Structure 1
């Protein structure tokens, strides 16, 4: 069965802002700080990707069956807003005999907010005296169904549920509370002729 596995890394040679400390060594949230973020030379990361078909019907085409996928990546906390990311899911294709070109998918995404960003939020609370949410992670779960209406025309309803939007950021209308979780319904269509 078809599958691919990848392991890699990357490096960006540019400069990045530290998410917590200023050039004067003080926390950026400290009122005595000069407010200028410390510069960090370069940023790096590692990643892995898995894409594997786990079942294919005997009489099915090469794209029919069940496949799973996942991606994972990590990068430094001081220069990366998101220091850990993982997603994954399952895709079921061509399993309904009367609808061989339809696909069903279920997936999740988890993005971890870096320790330096979380510590900045804690510093802000400590120096301001105001209770604010501390960013931590965002997670999304998605379900979708891609139906072939006619050859060359697909219709794909989707549902997503997002927990801790923006990593658990403050609601602009009530900063002491985070933005609420959200449900998103949508429909995508594509016509190829």
Structure 2
């Protein structure tokens, strides 16, 4: 698990951009990442590592065709790493 906070300076920058460019965006306070991973050694030279991450409020909202930010939901990432060592 990881937790991040957004600094006051970054929040002020977002508010300034809002005033300068005229579109509202949510000033985020941070996010939390939950991660589940495991390394399975299949042979002495080969391992597989599945990875699952759930990220709350992953970033700034993308701008839609109407010029306004679209809502962003949480993100789920699934990955798989393989290692071959000779």
Q: TM-score range by the shorter chain?
A: 0.7 to 0.9
**Structure showing greater relative contact order (alpha-carbon pairs closer than 8 Å, 6 or more residues apart):** 2
User: In structure 1, what is the Cα distance between the partners aligned to 2:21 and 2:43?
Assistant: 59
Deviation at 1:173, TM superposition (A): 2.5
Q: How many residues align?
A: 84
Q: Match for residue 171 of structure 1?
A: 62
Gaps of 5+ in 1: 1-107
Poorly superposed stretches of 4+, deviation over 6 Å:
none
RMSD: 2.1
Match of 1:148 in 2: 41
**Conserved in 1, the CA contact under 8 Å of 2:63 and 2:69?**
no
Per-residue Cα deviation, 1:32-63 (whole angstroms, up to 9, x for no partner): xxxxxxxxxxxxxxxxxxxxxxxxxxxxxxxx
TM-score by length of 2: 0.78
| Deviation (angstroms), 1:161 | 0.6
Q: Which consecutive residues of structure 2, in runs of 5 or more, have no partner in the other structure?
A: none
Structure number with the higher strand fraction is 1
2:30 matched to which residue of 1? 137
Shift of 1:176: 2.7
